[in-house]
């Protein structure tokens, strides 16, 4: 038996399903940042990562430039050997074959065999230290949010400023993207800064890829571009020739942002009410008395009836005294 055949046999046996620990080490490497690039999609209402079979095989045989193959794992020499390993991964359900339904959506395929032309979703989970850390941070963040009423006042102010700053940043980012696209679209090109920023089918990092997209507009849009150009030019002309009105608009926006940061935009409470907002509110004596207005009215009626009776008795006594005097 030649040396190459012996190495092939040894590496194939090394990555067989009977040596599950070795396969786990290989999958840890493939699922790490040094491994092949994967894409994200939604499958059965869960976000998953998938890769084409051909790319997985190519990476096993010839890793990308700069990749450091683990020293404790023998290298894979041929495509046939890589195919056998991929079949083992499918057999032990570390990956499964999927079908593309639409952009960003997958479905489990009925075909379980490994094929280079198919798409395969990773089931194997690498080290979960990062996942456990994120779960812990999520739980801690949840408890912090539920305990917000007992936070110190300076932390509440910090969260308010942070929220307002983030809101304004997103608003100005969307405005900047829209205006930039509009100006270049009028010229005849479609230019987007962060084109996938609001694509819900992509992951967090993929939402920022690519940074820009640039291509020619589709034919038949010339009348629309001319109309938008006229409207945009008219607005710019109005802003330049009517500085008093436009300056008032800018000043109003400045006051709006100032009120937003100070927290006085929608507030009609006094400072004392703001400071006592977390304190339990106990009803006062006046509030308790006002809670039963019907009883108060009944008491007033009884008092009025008693006054009338006493007045009537007094008049009767006076008449009797007058009659006695006349006799």
Q: Are 108 and 98 in contact (CB under 8 A)?
A: yes
- Average pLDDT rounded to a whole number, residues 126-134: 74
Report the pLDDT value the prediction gives residue 232, as an integer from 0 to 100.
81
Domain regions of the chain by residue span: 3-125, 145-275
Report the pLDDT value the prediction gives residue 119, as an integer from 0 to 100.
93
- Average pLDDT rounded to a whole number, residues 59-71: 85
Confidence of residue 318 (pLDDT cuts 50, 70, 90): low
DSSP secondary structure code for residue 52 in this structure: E
pTM of the predicted protein model: 0.45
More confident residue, 126 or 150: 150
* Poorest-pLDDT segment among 58-62, 75-79, 270-274, 314-318: 270-274
Instruction: Give the mean pLDDT of the chain.
Output: 77
Strand partners, 192: 213
Strand partners, 190: 215
Q: Are 108 and 118 in contact (CB under 8 A)?
A: no
Q: Are 86 and 58 in contact (CB under 8 A)?
A: no
Q: Is the pLDDT of residue 4 over 50?
A: no
Report the pLDDT value the prediction gives residue 264, as an integer from 0 to 100.
61
Confidence of residue 143 (pLDDT cuts 50, 70, 90): confident
| Residue 241 to residue 193: CA distance in whole angstroms | 31
Report the pLDDT value the prediction gives residue 210, as an integer from 0 to 100.
81
Q: Is the pLDDT of residue 180 over 70?
A: yes
Report the pLDDT value the prediction gives residue 320, as an integer from 0 to 100.
64
Pick the CATH number of 3-125 from 1.20.1260.10, 2.60.120.10, 2.70.98.60, 1.10.10.10: 1.10.10.10
pLDDT in tens, 70-118: 888 888 888 888 998 999 899 888 999 999 888 889 999 988 889 898 9
pLDDT in tens, 226-262: 888 888 888 777 777 766 666 666 677 777 777 776 6
């Amino acid at each position: 038996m030649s040396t190459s055949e012996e190495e092939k046999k040894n590496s194939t046996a090394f990555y067989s399903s009977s040596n599950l620990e070795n396969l786990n080490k290989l999958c840890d490497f493939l699922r790490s940042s040094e491994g092949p690039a994967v894409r994200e999609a939604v499958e059965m209402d869960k976000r998953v990562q998938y890769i084409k079979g051909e790319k997985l095989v190519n990476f096993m045989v010839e890793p990308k430039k700069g990749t450091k193959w683990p020293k404790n794992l023998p290298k894979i020499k041929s495509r046939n050997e890589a195919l056998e390993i991929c079949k083992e991964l499918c057999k032990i359900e570390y990956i499964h074959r999927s079908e593309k339904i639409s952009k960003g959506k997958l479905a489990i395929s009925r075909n379980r065999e490994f094929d280079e032309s198919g798409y395969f979703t990773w089931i194997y989970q690498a080290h979960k230290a990062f996942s456990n850390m994120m779960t812990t941070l999520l739980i801690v963040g949840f408890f912090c949010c539920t305990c917000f009423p007992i936070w110190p006042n300076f932390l509440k102010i910090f969260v308010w400023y942070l929220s307002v700053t983030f809101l304004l940043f997103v608003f100005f980012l969307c405005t900047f993207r829209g205006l930039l696209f509009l100006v270049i679209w009028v010229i005849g090109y479609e230019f987007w800064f962060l084109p996938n920023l609001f694509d819900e089918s992509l992951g967090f990092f993929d939402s920022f890829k690519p940074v820009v997209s640039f291509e020619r507009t589709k034919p038949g849009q010339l009348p629309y571009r001319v109309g938008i150009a006229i409207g945009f030019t008219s607005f710019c002309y109005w802003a330049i020739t009517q500085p008093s009105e436009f300056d008032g608009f800018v000043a109003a926006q400045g006051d709006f942002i100032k009120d937003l940061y100070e927290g006085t935009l929608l507030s009609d409470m006094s400072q004392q009410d703001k400071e006592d907002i977390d304190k339990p509110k106990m009803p006062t004596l006046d509030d308790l008395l006002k809670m039963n207005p019907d009883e108060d009215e009944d008491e007033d009626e009884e008092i009025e009836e008693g006054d009338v009776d006493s007045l009537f008795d007094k008049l009767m006594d006076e008449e009797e005294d007058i009659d006695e005097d006349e006799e």
